[in-house]
Amino acid sequence: MRTTQTMTISLPPAMLKEIERVRLAENRTRSELMREALRTYLRTFYSRFPVEAPTKAEVAAIRRGRAEIRRGQYITLEQLKHELATANRKERAKKPRKLPH
């Protein structure tokens, strides 16, 4: 039974040439070089976007929110935008207009 699977990718000729140059300089196979490149990429990907577990309070809040949605207790995005736009409009006292001299 195989412990690896084969994957085929397409590369621009210039990139393939660079890979071959590095592979020969390091005396590695293409597979070894690509595995190392992917490991490095994945390590940086996960460090940029860490996965965090929610707290008990957050899980409880999510459950309450989902229950409210099931009961129909929600507003649409358009309703929220309208409420926010209305709340941001303040009555302003009119300033007297300056007359030209």
pLDDT in tens, the chain (101 residues): 888 899 999 999 999 999 999 999 999 999 999 999 999 999 998 888 878 899 999 999 999 999 999 999 999 999 999 999 888 776 666 677 777 76
- Host domain of residue 38: 13-48
Give the whole-angstrom CA distance, residue 67 versus residue 60. 11
Task: State the Rg of the chain over Cα.
Answer: 29
Q: Check whether residue 41 and residue 62 sit in a common domain.
A: no
Task: Kindly provide the b/e burial profile for residues 49-71, where b requires at least 16 CB atoms within 10 angstroms of the residue's own CB.
Answer: eeeeeeeeeeeeeeeeeeeeeee
- The predicted pLDDT at position 66 comes to 96
Q: Check whether residue 61 and residue 39 sit in a common domain.
A: no
In a domain, 101, yes or no: no
In a domain, 30, yes or no: yes
Give the whole-angstrom CA distance, residue 73 versus residue 86. 21
In a domain, 100, yes or no: no
In a domain, 72, yes or no: yes
- The predicted pLDDT at position 79 comes to 93
Give the whole-angstrom CA distance, residue 21 versus residue 8. 20
50, 61 contact by CB (below 8 A)? no
Q: Check whether residue 63 and residue 43 sit in a common domain.
A: no
- The predicted pLDDT at position 2 comes to 81
- The predicted pLDDT at position 95 comes to 73
Q: Check whether residue 64 and residue 41 sit in a common domain.
A: no
- Number of structural domains the chain divides into: 2
- The predicted pLDDT at position 40 comes to 94
